Amino acid sequence: MYDECLLKPNLVETKMAATLSLPIIDLSSPHRLSTANSIRQACVEYGFFYLVNHGVDTEFMRKVLNHSAKLFSLPLQHKMDLARKDYRGYTPLYAEALHPSVSKGDPKESFYIGSVEDTSVAFLNQWPSEELLPNWRPTMESLFWKLVEAGKELLSLVALSLNLDESYFEKIGALNKPSSFLRLLHYPGELVSNEEIYGASPHSDYGMITLLMTDGVPGLQICKEKFKQPQVWEDVTHVDGALIVNIGDMMERWTNCLYRSTLHRVMPTGKERYSVAFFFDPASDCVVECFESCCSESSPPRFPPIRSGDYLNERFRLTYGSERELKCSIQLKN
Ligand SMILES: O=C(O)CCC(=O)C(=O)O
Ligand SMILES: [Fe+2]
């Protein structure tokens, strides 16, 4: 699917990347049809847009990023006490690459929080103790709930944008215990070697939609035409108070590639950077099958139906290997 030359970007080309003006979508607008139309245009053209009035206020976003910075500044041993298990917890530097064929992991550390909404899995989450990081867990739980709320609201507009009933995703069971994940990210910033050409290697997200919070430090780039060579990368700048939303691979399958799951990456700038990604994915038993409004006789479905859980498991396996492999890579590094 990816060309190898993608992995060796020319740094000159990178520095000269053009800056995009992505569409801004107002989640609270009463003009739902025109908002849905703008979403459609954004998803067809970019697969990315900014979301404003989404219910997570700027002050709270700052608080979340501060809490995230506190976690990552803990001594490594404290963080390793929360090492990732069942896809939840701390992942150290270089332990994973978002592009499956990058041999060395990405120079970033992350902390994963799985659904707090689904009580059958919420207990799997790992939390720093209240003594170590006061108010950390309630802050992240509150963020989780706010993003679930924003995600559901946004999906009703996405359904409308595809000429479907506003409650379509609910009706097909996608939102009944959605498999959502928060990924707190820290890119340390200092360039350790010339080899480290990425903060996060090129990838598309696997799921339905991603809502991303950034701290203002640049680095995020997108490539609209993932199969075209040479690839053209454009900068996505931070907009204060806005979330950056992107379409994932499952939504691309659902829409028969009408909506793009756009390739993106994070380039290192030498500056420390924090971000928080919220992956809002369908419930695992929801079947992802081309929407009727997205196929016709002349444009038949390009992908067979697939259970969301099966699809995600396979993508996770390719990215993370098994949890056993993760433990080995951690031991080697300490
Ligand atoms: O850190 C960022 O800005 C993007 C992160 C990202 O694309 C991801 O975690 O999937
Ligand atoms: Fe991503």
**pLDDT recorded at residue 216:** 97
Residue with tokens 């924003």: 150
Q: How far is the CA of 298 from the centre of ligand 2 (A)?
A: 32
Q: Which superfamily does CATH assign the domain made up of 4-332 to? A: B-lactam Antibiotic, Isopenicillin N Synthase; Chain (2.60.120.330)
Q: Are strands 109-114 and 181-187 parallel, antiparallel or unpaired?
A: antiparallel
What is the per-residue pLDDT across 174-185, written as a single tens digit (0 to 9) for each? Answer: 999 888 999 999
**pLDDT recorded at residue 100:** 62
pTM of the model: 0.90
Q: How far is the CA of 224 from the centre of ligand 2 (A)?
A: 14
Among candidates 275, 280, 284, which has minimal Cα distance to 310?
A: 284
**pLDDT recorded at residue 51:** 98
What is the per-residue pLDDT across 111-162, written as a single tens digit (0 to 9) for each? Answer: 999 999 888 899 999 999 999 999 999 999 999 999 999 999 999 999 999 9
- Give how far Cα 112 sits from Cα of 13, 21, 36, 256, 309, Å: 33, 30, 31, 30, 18
Please state the rounded mean pLDDT for residues 60-88: 96
262 lines ligand 1 (CB under 6 A): no
**pLDDT recorded at residue 328:** 33
CB atoms within 10 A of CB 62: 12
Q: Are strands 109-114 and 89-91 parallel, antiparallel or unpaired?
A: antiparallel
Q: What share of the chain is helix, strand, coil (3-state, %, to 5)?
A: 35, 20, 45
Domain segments of the chain as ranges: 4-332
Please identify, by atom number, the ligand 1 atom nearest to the C-alpha of residue 220. Answer: 3
The three-class DSSP label of residue 89 is: strand
Please state the rounded mean pLDDT for residues 34-41: 98
277 lines ligand 1 (CB under 6 A): yes
205 lines ligand 1 (CB under 6 A): yes
Which of 98, 217, 246, 279 to probe ligand 1 with, by most ligand atoms within 8 A of CB? Answer: 98
Cα angle: 281, vertex 173, 118; to 5 degrees:
60
Which residues lie at CB < 5 A from ion ligand 2?
A: 205
CA separation for the pair 82, 127 (Å, rounded)? 7
| Peptide bond preceding 178 in cis form (omega within 30 of 0) | no
**pLDDT recorded at residue 199:** 82
Q: Which residues does 114 contact at the CB level (< 8 Å), separation at least 6? A: 86, 87, 88, 121, 122, 124, 125, 179, 180, 181
